[in-house]
Amino acid sequence: MRKVFIADAHLRNPGDENYRILLDFLAGLEGSTDTLFILGDLFEFWIGYRNVPFHHYIPVLDQLRRLREHGVDIVYFEGNHDFHMGPFFEETLQARVFSGPAIFSLDGKQVYLCHGDQMNRKDHTYRLLRFMLHSPLTRALTLIVPPAVASLIAVWMGGKSRKSHKERRVKWDYMKIVKDFAAARFAAGCDVVVTGHFHIPFIERSGEGPKRVLLSLGDWITHFSYGEWVDGEISLKTYR
């Protein structure tokens, strides 16, 4: 059996091309995959309510439920567009949810998994925003802020995020940030680093000494790329 890693679909509407393609991809995991790792930003915006508040996400949630019913474990790493995942993921899907990075032992290898939005320690503005979004106060607001209001906030945040992402790609050297961060994780004893967030699909394997692998997952907007773990080895794949 294999393990699959995806990130950054930024799903909005079921009629969107990337939404439809991802549904087809997820359906194909039934019977061939034991674990689905979602490394953040599956949704353009998600904040956990007691019930599912965003009905345009029901098709993908139904598909995730079917995967779980077929025995696929779901592991979700919150990103910068989805946080406080709420009872649906932990109770209905019985998913393991992480608000930050975590290390998994897979086939005897130490695999560092993260969304990646915390890598750039110099981006102080974003780090403050992330702290606020992931704070207990924001989670408490779901008890008093109606989902309709949250949806309006989501539209506004989505526009701001797309604009700031373009600006950050000019300001910051993403490749250097990712590689420097991975090097530090390797020095600490990790064998594999898998990240999302940067929308840049690439895989880099060390040529000397202990084998180390860095995998940046890309996205499900233009690249339709994902990671696949089989027999102790990880690779970068493209669905289209």
pLDDT at 164 over 70: no
> What is the token pair recorded at 194?
């898998």
Q: How many other C-beta atoms can be found within 10 angstroms of the C-beta atom of residue 183?
A: 14
| Beta carbons of 37 and 5 less than 8 angstroms apart | yes
| Per-residue pLDDT tens over the stretch 29-50 | 999 999 999 999 999 988 877 7
Backbone angles phi, psi at 143, to 5 degrees: -80, -20
| Cα separation values, 32 from 11, 72, 113, 189, Å | 24, 9, 22, 30
From 50, 33, 133, select the one nearest 89 (Cα to Cα). Answer: 50
Report CA Rg, the chain: 17
Q: Give the pLDDT score at 177.
A: 94
Q: Which amino acid is at 124?
A: H
Confidence band of 222 (pLDDT split at 50, 70, 90): very high
Q: 198, 116 in Cβ contact below 8 A?
A: yes
Q: Per the structure, how many domains does the chain have? A: 1
DSSP category for residue 203: E
Q: How far apart are the first and last CA of the chain?
A: 22
CATH number, domain at 41? 3.60.21.10
Burial class, 108, CB count within 10 angstroms (exposed 0-12 / middle 13-18 / buried 19+) = exposed
Numbers of helices and strands, H then E, in the chain: 7, 13
For residue 1, pLDDT beyond 90: no
Rounded CA-CA distance 239/149 in Å is 35
- pLDDT score for 57: 93
Q: What is the pTM of this model?
A: 0.88
Q: Are strands 2-6 and 33-38 parallel, antiparallel or unpaired?
A: parallel
Q: Is 75 helix (H, G, I), strand (E, B) or coil?
A: strand
Coil, strand or helix: which one is 146? Answer: coil
Domain that holds residue 212: 2-238
